Amino acid sequence: MHRVLVSAPAKVNLALRVGGPRPDGFHPLDTVFEALDVFDDLEVTAADELTVDITSPGDAVAIADLPLDGSNLAMRAATALLDRRGLTGPGAPGARISITKRIPVAGGMAGGSADAAGALVALNKLWDLGFGADELERIAADLGSDVPFALKGSVAHGQGRGELLEAVQVASVHAWVFLTRSDGLSTPAVFREFDRLNPQAGDPAPTTDLRAALESGSIDDIGAAMVNDLEEPAASLNPELGQMLGQLRADGLHAILSGSGPTIAVLTDPDSLHAIAQQLAARYPHTTVLAACGPAAGAHVREAE
Ligand code: C5P
């Protein structure tokens, strides 16, 4: 094998309930993830060294601030795979990892996690390492809370810090309009603000209502059950976000903060997607509008030779 091409999806949290911090500093979550048909592509080719490069077609996504060294999540995924097989030092296999980025950066859509998941799948095949799905999921959990979901895709109930997953059946296709912004919010900062605003937080609230609505398939029922406990802290750090969410809801739209923000997600039925995307692009010219549908597949091989 000398070349493998993998696609890995963005995600949105349909519900994100957060509890008080655990002794390890992470927050217990009760969440429902949905994978979206916005993919980062990773092409890996055999090479002597391990390197990563990133391009964005049509400059759709701002990639200038992304690291290209060992701290890049795709590079960390590569190193984690090699470590597990004891393949370190001179003679360890290398690869050129080329990422085509379409998932907004630092937007709460788990683009970095998608790249880590994509690298795990692609390099497991390129280097013929033979890790099974369960082993890859364990390695993924060490790389980040959202990485196991990027492997699995579709819709899943997440617990723990987001890495303990159970598939959820859904009865409809969901169309989304994302309003992404360049003034990113740091995920740890949003969680810290959650702690400041909720000093007494215990266990996260359950996501039972949202999961029941997904089974019914009604977009309005799903929209009514969507909730994100990081919305208040994100709006506290960036008040304009809170104002936008308020306006969108006053217009009768099903709007929610995506993950830890600052992206806002609007759920709609597929027939209205185009019109709502156009309307929001005209209304919020300082944001980038992205239309997407879910559920979509997890990180998967598209070509291998
Ligand atoms: O797991 P991941 O590296 O994506 O998390 C990034 C940061 O987000 C963590 O360092 C932590 O500050 C915060 N986080 C958290 N609780 C979670 C997930 C993430 O506090 N369940």
Mutate-to-test residue for ligand 1 from 143, 186, 191, highest number of ligand atoms within 8 A of CB: 191
Q: Locate 238 and state its tokens.
A: 């960036």
Q: Is the pLDDT of residue 202 over 90?
A: yes
Q: What is the structure's pLDDT at 266? A: 98
Q: What is the structure's pLDDT at 114? A: 98
Q: Is the pLDDT of residue 258 over 90?
A: yes
Q: Does 146 qualify as catalytic in the annotation?
A: yes
Residue whose CA is at the smallest distance from ligand 1 atom 2: 144
User: Which ranges in 198-238 belong to alpha helices (H)?
Assistant: 208-216, 219-225, 231-237
CA distance 81 to 123: 8
Query: What is the per-residue pLDDT across 273-300, written as a single tens digit (0 to 9) for each?
Result: 999 999 999 999 989 999 999 999 999 9
Rounded mean pLDDT of the chain?
A: 96
CA distance 104 to 181: 9
Query: What is the per-residue pLDDT across 17-61, written as a single tens digit (0 to 9) for each?
Result: 999 999 999 999 999 999 999 999 999 999 999 999 999 988 778
Q: What is the structure's pLDDT at 160? A: 98
Kind plus residue range of the DSSP H or E element containing 32: strand 29-47
Query: What is the per-residue pLDDT across 214-231, written as a single tens digit (0 to 9) for each?
Result: 999 999 999 999 999 999
- The structural domains of the chain, with segments of one domain joined by +, span 1-305
Residue whose CA is at the smallest distance from ligand 1 atom 13: 188
* Domain range 1-305, CATH class: alpha beta
CA distance 126 to 213: 41
Residues 6+ apart with CB under 8 A from 29: 16, 17, 18, 19, 145, 158, 159, 160, 161, 162, 204
pTM: 0.96
Residue 130 CA to ligand 1 centre (angstroms): 29
